[in-house]
Amino acid sequence: MPHPHRKNLLTSVQMAHFVATGAFRMDAVVPDEMNQQALDVLQAGIPGVPYGTPLSEAFADSEFVQRLVQLPEIAGAIHSLVGPEPTVDHHAVHIRKANEGEAQNLHGDAIIDVREDAFDVQLMYYPQEVTLEMGGTLSVPGSHLRRTNESDTGRYQNLAGQTRLTCPAGTVVFLHHGIWHGGRKNDSAIDRYMFKIRFNPTVRQVRLWDLEDLYDEQVAAELKQTFPWYENATGRLEIYNRVKLWQALTGDDTFDPDYWVTRVSNRPQRVISQRSLNPHAAKKVTA
Ligand SMILES: O=C(O)CCC(=O)C(=O)O
Ligand SMILES: [Fe+2]
C-alpha cells in the first residue's frame, strides 16, 4: 500500500484521544456515491478472508472494500493506528434488524489481552445515517484498557458516560480491540448495517502518525481526561494504563505528567555493597 500523505495521518492530539477513549470517529468520511452502493454490496456478502491475510491482498475480490480502505482519510487513520500493511483478523457485516426487539449485551471483541504496547483496531463503517432509534453501536469511552474477558461485562446494563452512536451516512469509527460495546436495540423500521474489519499490526506501533504536535499541551489534556463511570481509585489506574500505552507509542518513557508510571516502575538497580554499608563487615577476621 502506498504511504499515505502526511495530511491524512492522524495528529498526535487525535492519537491521544484514541488512547484515552479507545475510539476515533470520522463523520461522513465515505462519499455518498459509495454509501448508496454499500447496502447492495453488504447484502450480497463480502467474501471471507483467511486470518492473517495482508490488507493489500485481502479484498482482491471486493472492489468496494478496496476503495473503502484506500480512501485517503481512512488509509491515513489505519496507517497511524496499526501501521503499513496490517493483516486482516476477520471482517463481518453486522445488521440490527428493523424492530428486532433485542439489544446485544455489552462485550469486548477480545479475551483478556494483556499487551501493553500493541493493539488491534476495528474499523466500523456505517453506510446509512444512524438515528437514535436505529440501534447504533453503544460503547463505553475509556473502557478499552481494563482487563475484562469478552462478554463478562454483559451484565452491566448502563454505565454513566456510555455513548450510543448516532451519525451521518458514511461514518467510520475506529475502536481499540478492548473497548466495551454492543449493538443496541433497533426500534426503527429500517435495518441498520455496519461493516467491520479487524486489523492486526505487523510493525511496532511507534510514531506512525503525524508527529508535528507531539508535545502539544492538548496531548496531555486528552490523556488526562476521566469518565463518569470510573471509580475514584481505579480511574487513576486507567490514566496509568494510558500513559504506559502512550510511552510505548511514542518511544518516550519520560512522558509521565503525574509520575504514576515513574513511581510504579522505580526499581533502582544500583547496588550499594555490604562494605560501604558496614566498613567492618569485610575485614578479615584475624584473631
Ligand atoms: O452491531 C453492532 O453495532 C455491534 C456488533 C458487534 O459488536 C459484534 O457483533 O461484535
Ligand atoms: Fe463486538
User: Looking at ligand 1, which atom is closest to the CA of residue 165?
Assistant: 3
Whether ligand 1 lies within 6 angstroms of the CB of 194 is answered as: yes
Residues with CB under 5 A from ligand 2 (ion): 109
Question: How many A from CA of 253 to the centre of ligand 2?
Answer: 32
Whole-prediction pTM value? 0.93
User: Looking at ligand 1, which atom is closest to the CA of residue 194?
Assistant: 1
User: Are 93 and 46 within 8 A, CB to CB?
Assistant: yes
Residue whose CA is closest, atom 5 of ligand 1?
183
Question: How many A from CA of 201 to the centre of ligand 2?
Answer: 19
Q: Which residues pair with 174 in a beta bridge?
A: 24, 123
Query: What are the residue ranges in the chain where pLDDT is below 50?
Result: none
For ligand 1, mutation pick of 132, 171, 194 (most atoms within 8 Å of CB): 194
User: What is the pLDDT, as a whole number, of residue 273?
Assistant: 77
User: What is the pLDDT, as a whole number, of residue 56?
Assistant: 96
User: Looking at ligand 1, which atom is closest to the CA of residue 138?
Assistant: 3
For the chain, domains (ranges, CATH) are: 1-287 (2.60.120.620)
Residue whose CA is closest, atom 2 of ligand 1?
183
